[in-house]
Amino acid sequence: MKLNVKAFALTCGLIWGLGLLFITWWIIFFDGATNQVTFIGRIYRGYNISVYGSFIGLVWGFFDGLICGAIFAWLYNFLSGKFQSK
């Protein structure tokens, strides 16, 4: 079975980006906006625990998930073709 690389990449991008947005808003709801730079903020430039930072994280997370999902799906398709029984 082969994976559709574009569909898998888009799915990963949406899940990672929206997941990061949701987690940030969850933290804001319970603890308030802190504007502190977190570990993820060191990786995703401009991201912090704030309303504005959550949308920056959404964009960074979407593109990060998109690229990683595409690489994973391509590698899966490549390796599954090599080990497929004839």
Instruction: Please state the domain count of the chain.
Output: 1
Give the integer Cα–Cα distance in Å for 9 and 29: 30
Q: What is the pLDDT of residue 86?
A: 61
- Stretch 1-21: mean pLDDT: 96
Count, residues in the chain? 86
| Residue ranges making up the domain that contains 26 | 5-82
Residue range 45-65, pLDDT digits in tens: 999 999 999 999 999 999 999
Task: Give the pLDDT score at 84.
Answer: 76
> Mean pLDDT score of the chain, rounded to an integer?
93
**Higher-scoring residue by pLDDT: 14, 34:** 14
* d(C-alpha 17, C-alpha 59), whole Å: 6
pTM for the whole structure: 0.87
CA distance linking residue 15 with residue 68, whole number of Å: 12
